[in-house]
Amino acid sequence: MAERKGAGPRHREGFEREPARRVFAAELREVNLQFKDGEDEKSPSYILLPTGIRANRIFFIGTLTEKERRGDQNIFYHARISDPTGTFFVIAGSYQPEAMQQLAKIEPPAFVAVVGKPNVYQSPSGAVLVSIRAESIVTVDADTRNCWVMDTAKSTLDRLDQFGSTEDSEKAKAHYNTDPEVYRKMAYDALTQLKI
């Protein structure tokens, strides 16, 4: 699930699965821009990360702290998963039955790895929130979680090193008024919380 360098619209020959971006919860919390790459109804949808890259799917590892089953006929789960920087909000329902069945079996607290599609929405109170529709969710051990924190810190710093030199990072700079130092500190703070 390595990240692709650079950014901008993708030119495809046949089907190509989107790479899952590694992103900390604190950065995802700041996202409020979602767009489609094309006019077609089936065109892929992306969020724009403040560090300057688009994401159709994300990959993260954290601690499942809470899950709740909802619905009677259309059953789905809401889950809260925390990394060293904050909380991800995850939904798993009948549209991804494997993810829903996997989540149903996992009891908190547990380290879990999730791949899913982010979605920006507005709550009734007007707050802009991001939830992740899980495609897969599995339990992992602490070493795997620590590797993810290190990889995600590196991915974040790599994006910041390219900040201002790609089309997406220019958009992020204009939309979010991104201060790269905020996200550098976030990455370093996440690393300092590791107990290796």
**3-class DSSP state of 37:** coil
Please tell me the pTM assigned to this model: 0.89
Q: Which of 54, 3, 51 is nearest to 163 (CA)?
A: 51
User: Phi and psi of 181, rounded to 5°?
Assistant: -65, -30
Report how far Cα 102 is from the mean position of its chain's Cα atoms: 19
Contacts of 163 (CB under 8 A, 6+ apart): 51, 52, 169, 172, 173, 178, 180
* Alpha-carbon distances of 21 from 53, 125, 128, 139, 191, rounded to whole Å: 9, 29, 21, 19, 18
* Alpha-carbon distances of 81 from 92, 123, 130, 147, rounded to whole Å: 13, 20, 13, 17
Distance CA 133, CA 144 (A): 22
The pLDDT tens digits for 114-159 are: 999 999 999 889 899 999 999 999 999 999 999 999 999 999 999 9
The pLDDT tens digits for 67-99 are: 999 998 889 999 999 999 999 999 999 889 999
